[in-house]
Amino acid sequence: MPRYSDELDAVAAYEQALRLRIAERLAQENGHPAGAGLSAGQIAEADAAIAAWQDTGEEEHDLNAFRRIGPLQELLAEHRAVLDRIDDMRDRRLS
């Protein structure tokens, strides 16, 4: 019998993986060696970067569409898109 898998669980797990990738990228940009493991402070720094990215308006992100963005910004944009997808999935379940 196939095991049931919930799409929302998979997307939420991917969101958490992206969160860790953002923390790793920030640590790397701050001079920490890759693969050295993440501290609680580094994960908190990633959470702060995610919150700051979310707080900037869509107009700012639209302007960035015409500029080249770096690897960190790409991860933050992807994370935002995953959060939007999670919100959409939850909204559909409530309707």
Look up the pTM and report it: 0.82
- What is the C-alpha to C-alpha distance for residues 81 and 89, in angstroms, rounded to an integer? 12
Contacts 24+ apart (CB under 8 A), 68-74: 71/25, 72/22, 72/25, 72/26, 72/29
Quick one: 24 exposed, middle or buried, by C-beta within 10 A (0-12, 13-18, 19+)? buried
* pLDDT value, residue 58: 58
Mean pLDDT by 10 residues, the chain (95 residues): 77 96 94 86 95 76 64 92 94 87
The answer for residues whose C-beta is within 8 angstroms of residue 61's C-beta and 6 or more apart is 77
